[in-house]
Each structure stands twice: as C-alpha cells, then as structure tokens.
A and B are shown apart, each in its own frame.
Chain A
Amino acid sequence: MSSVLDEPMKNPYLPYKAEIVEIRDEVKGIRPIKTFKIRLIGRERFDYKSGQGCLVSVFGRGESWFTIANSPTRPDLEFSVLKTGKVTTKLHEMEVGDVVGIRGPLGRGFPLEEWKGMNIITIGGGIGQTPLRSIYQYVIDNEKDYGDLTIIYGARTSRDLCYRDELFQLKEQGFNVELSIDNPEPDWPYFVGFVPDNLKRIKPDPENTIAITCGPPIMIKITLRVLKDLGFKEEQIYTTLERRMKCGIGKCGKCKLESIYVCRDGPVFRYDELSRLLEEA
C-alpha cells in the first residue's frame, strides 16, 4: 500500500537509493580513510550548502553521518569515511557499483552568501578537513566573489594528511596552503607542530576575515583561544561539533547539546551561538 511513507522526500527516514561510482584511498594504515563519490540512482542530486551532511545507510549495519566533502559546484556527492565502527568497516569493504542509502541534505550549512567579499581562512585537523574542503572548493569556483583564501591544515603524520595531492596541487597554483604535521619527518619541508601553533606563526589579519575551524575537540578549543587572541571577534569564527547522530532530523535526542539539536541546528555553529551554553561545548 503506497502511502506518504513511500516517497523519500515525504518520509525522512527512507533513504534515496545511490551507488558508489568512485573510491579513492586518502589515508592507508590502521586509521584508513577512503573518499567515496556517490551518485543517486534515478534522481537528480538534491541541492545543498557546504557544511551540510548526509546519513549514509548500509542496511543490516545502520547509518552514519558524514559531512559532504565536495562543494555544491562540483558533481555528485563525496564522503570521506574514517574506518572506525560497524557501518564504516562495511563501507570500506565495498567496491564501485555497490548500493548504499543516502538521507540528506541534513543540518544547517555555512552561510557562504554572507561571506561574499571577505577573506576566508580554513583551519582543519585530521578528518575535520572534510567540511573545510567543501568550503574552499566553493570559494575557488567563485573566486571573484571572495577575498583571498588561506588553507591551514595539519595531521598526525604526513601519511595521515587527507586530500594530500589536491592540496599540493593548490599550493602550486599559488593558493596560500599551510600544511603541518605533529612530529618531524625526514623530507618534510613545511611546519612541524600542532595546527594552533601553526596558526600563531601565520598570524592572519582579522580584518574583514572569516575563520572556520574543524577537527578533534581539543584542537578546536585551543584554536578558538588563539583566534580570540589574534583579535577575531566571535561573529567571525565558525566551527562544527561532533555528536552521535541517528535520526538526523532533530527528534531522537542523541545529538542534543542543551537546547540545541546538533544535527538540526548545526553541526555548523557560529562561535557566539556556543559561548552562551552552560556547559563548555
């Protein structure tokens, strides 16, 4: 009996059918990361904003939230998946052509329209680079609307750097890309140390600038302090929060942070929205 429940648009729990068209190995080793390029089957891609995410569904295992890694100006949907649990392990075993479920776009994206004409700085750590990649791809594709772009990104070791070749390519094209790794390695020409220290070294000018930071909770905490010291006002800083996400539509209560549903009112937040919380986010 087909009812309102049968169409994905009407039933927010029903995933779109989609297939994997390309798999790229970003990082190998014990914490492998793969980027999946996924195309909806029999349906146009929904439009979305950078920073929004999808719940990728593997029937029999469950669903996991991944921020969309590519900008809306680029084709299909890309998700970078760190192998860490039930769903992600199954995803890492999948090949091109396998079918997955996609529920999205979910959450609130970055307000890129408001940022027109301003400089953009992305500060990423480890797998946190995914939403930032969506931003700088969008900024690059609309270069004339924005000021200059700075990409600050760091990881544990050079092997853990996500989107490494793409970032080196951007560096050659003249973009201001500042990479860093935590401990020294033989042929590593760039900065060695944590991302917030790299940020202190670069000392970006807060005038007419938006800073977006994403990564492990500790890195975000220190980065926010460094940005405040550099003179950034709270309205100029954006970040994303990591929570357990299940329904993705602000109902199940797993992602609740005080009165905020991170999956519905986030995961993107302007810093002043978080500073009023009782608990330190």
Chain B
Amino acid sequence: MNSEILEKIKEECRKLPDDVSYIVGFVRKQGEPREILRVLRPGEIDRLSYSPLSSSNPSRIVMDLAKSGKVAVIAKGCDVRTLKQLEKEEKIKRERVYIIGVSCPGVIDYRKFRNAVKFRLSEIESVELVGDDVIVKANGNEQRIPFNELIFENCLYCEQPTPKDCDVLIGEPREGRTDFSDIEEFEKLDREERWKYWMDVFSKCIRCHACREVCPICYCEECLVDPSNLAVSPMTPAEEKAAYPRVLGKTVSASDNMVYHLMRVLHHAGRCAGCGECERACPMELPLLKLERKLKKVVYEVFNYSPDEEIPFLSKLDILPEV
C-alpha cells in the first residue's frame, strides 16, 4: 500500500515547478525501520521513503528553509494544519511552500512497534500497511500485526487526516472527527485523583526540553520558563538583563515541572494542530498530548473557535463567553 504512495510521491517530485530548491521528506534510517526527516535536493528524489512510520512533522524545517527559497514538502493532515497556523502567524509565506499532501490513515507509534515486533530492528527490511494489518518483513519471514495495536493513540482522534490546502493530494480523502471522549473520561475523576495522576506524570519529567524544541509552534528564541537561550545582544542594557522576568529557573520537582508544562501548553491555545511531536519526542514517554487536547477542547467548546478561521485565536476577542 505505502509503496504505491511512495511511487506517487516520487512522481510528483519529478514534476515539481523548477523554482523549488529543497524537498523536505522522509528517508529511511540506516539499521532500523525508522523514518527520518531530511532536506533533499531535487536531484536526490530516489532517496525518498514513506511508510506508516513517517510520523514526524516537517513544519519546523520548512519554516527555516522557506526563508531562503521555495520548499516542497511531503505533508500529512496535521502537518498541513501546522503549516497553515505558521502561515497565519506570518512565519511562512504560502507561495514559498509547495505542499504534496498525503491522506493519512494514522501513523505507527514506534514504541508500540518496538515492543510488538519479534525481529531485531536491524533485520527489518520493510513495514507495509495493507488494509487493517501492518506487515513487517525481515530476512525471509513476515509478521502480521493489527494496525490498531500499533497506531499512535492521538491519531484515533484525528480531526483532519486529509490535508486541506495543498498543491497536490495523494491517496483518497478521509473524514476526520472531533472527539474529546478521552478528556471527558479523565475529567470524571475527582480533583485529588487528577492531582495524583499529574504529580506522578510530572515527577518523571527530566526537563530535557525535547517537547519544547521539537514543537513547530514553540519557536520563541527565549522562553519564560527555564529558558535554554536568552535573546541578548551587545546593545542590551544591563538593567534589562538583570530584570529578566524569570517565572521558573532550573529547579526540578513534580510541581515545578507542572509549572513548566502549564506555561508551555498555555501558549498553544488555538494554535496546536495535534501532530503529537511532543509526545513522540519525550524520552520519559509522558502523556503530554492530554494537556494539549484539554486546551483544544476549551478553545472549541468555551470559545467555539474553529481552527480554519483566518484570524489567530489570541486576537479574536469577540468570542468571549458571558460568564
């Protein structure tokens, strides 16, 4: 199945407009079936690869490259929504990006994949999604695993598997759905149970900032909480550097980690496309998307703001509830 998609992608890449200088796509990693984002030149099309493990969101790379030239990108539904959000915030000019949209049936969670597969990662030759099964081929024999056992949990609640505004679409469109049943389920717990759950989650956080650095819309040079860089220039006066508003420094504890994540998530209100990069990147495998999806639920239900609006959520002030 995905070998057909790969053929179509390659075909599209050969017919790219000639002012495209970069192609951002997936390349198979050496020694394991993982798909890595790579910036390729138009001449290197045969290095491209595509499989249900092509889960990363290329928007971060497209945002940097689009500054200096036209970029073609192989993008799934959630990636295109991130690109659209970055376009809304004037970080990307739409005419600088040539989007090859791929209708996405959901991606595989590599952690579930590694636990379920019985071969050594280095032996695996191909991972194919055929119908509802994933077929893993390795030195001669084959393992068939139901897709819903490997699917990245977030993709079950995908709102837009088919890219909306793209230059060319591959694969037949699929319907998304807005469903917050998992959040409603969690909100049934009483307050102390919820607090205990999140304290247990955040006690494992090691504040490595992978969730912040991989997030395509967390592009601030300097963060309020535990900054890993400061926007300082030789002309910055000493008083300004001395009076930096430091909400949180480097102290690590379950409650401090919660302040870090609350502040990070709060800034994604109405902007997060739900691509799941943060949860995939977290080395301690924390359920970070739960917070993002709760905020998305508030943005949709309390403010009834729809992400397809042109005006960014933060500047829309006529949608305040009366309460």
- Which of B57-65, B151-159, B233-241 lines the interface with chain A? B233-241
Identify which of B237, B239, B242 gathers the most chain A CB atoms within 10 Å of its CB.
B242
A225 CB–B CB distance under 8 Å = no
Closest to A85 in B: B241
Residues 70-121 (chain A) with a chain B CB within 8 angstroms:
83-86, 88-90
CB contacts (< 8 Å) of A84 on chain B: these are 238, 241
Q: How far is the CA of A46 from the CA of B179 in the complex (A)?
A: 70
Name the interface size band of chain A: under 10
A30 CB–B CB distance under 8 Å = yes
Q: How far is the CA of A85 from the CA of B237 in the complex (A)?
A: 8
A-B contact number at CB 8 A: 16
CB contacts (< 8 Å) of A90 on chain B: these are 242
CB contacts (< 8 Å) of B237 on chain A: these are 30
Q: How far is the CA of A90 from the CA of B238 in the complex (A)?
A: 10
Output the least CB separation between A93 and chain B (Å).
10
Q: How far is the CA of A203 from the CA of B242 in the complex (A)?
A: 43
Interface size of B by CB at 8 A reads: 6
Q: How far is the CA of A86 from the CA of B242 in the complex (A)?
A: 4
Closest to A92 in B: B238
CB contacts (< 8 Å) of B241 on chain A: these are 84-86, 89
Q: Mark B86-114, 1 if CB is under 8 A from A, else 0.
A: 00000000000000000000000000000
Identify which of A30, A86, A88 gathers the most chain B CB atoms within 10 Å of its CB.
A86
Closest to A90 in B: B242
Q: How far is the CA of A210 from the CA of B104 in the complex (A)?
A: 71
Q: How far is the CA of A89 from the CA of B238 in the complex (A)?
A: 7
CB contacts (< 8 Å) of A86 on chain B: these are 241-242, 244
Identify which of B237, B238, B244 gathers the most chain A CB atoms within 10 Å of its CB.
B238
Closest to B230 in A: A85
Output the least CB separation between A182 and chain B (Å).
16
Q: How far is the CA of A30 from the CA of B244 in the complex (A)?
A: 19
Output the least CB separation between B180 and chain A (Å).
44
Residues 34-92 (chain A) with a chain B CB within 8 angstroms:
83-86, 88-90
Residues 218-238 (chain B) with a chain A CB within 8 angstroms:
237-238
CB contacts (< 8 Å) of A85 on chain B: these are 238, 241-242
Closest to B232 in A: A85
CB contacts (< 8 Å) of A89 on chain B: these are 238-239, 241-242
Closest to A89 in B: B242
CB contacts (< 8 Å) of A83 on chain B: these are 238
CB contacts (< 8 Å) of B239 on chain A: these are 89
Q: How far is the CA of A30 from the CA of B239 in the complex (A)?
A: 10
- Could you list some 5 contacts between A and B, CB below 8 A? A85-B241, A88-B238, A89-B238, A89-B242, A90-B242
**Which B residues contact A (CB, under 8 angstroms)?**
237-239, 241-242, 244
With A83-B238, A85-B238, A88-B238 given, can you name 13 additional A-B contacts, CB distance below 8 Å?
Answer: A30-B237, A84-B238, A84-B241, A85-B241, A85-B242, A86-B241, A86-B242, A86-B244, A89-B238, A89-B239, A89-B241, A89-B242, A90-B242
List the 10 closest pairs (A to B, CB-CB), nearest first: A89-B242, A83-B238, A85-B241, A86-B242, A84-B238, A89-B238, A85-B238, A85-B242, A89-B239, A88-B238
**Which A residues contact B (CB, under 8 angstroms)?**
30, 83-86, 88-90
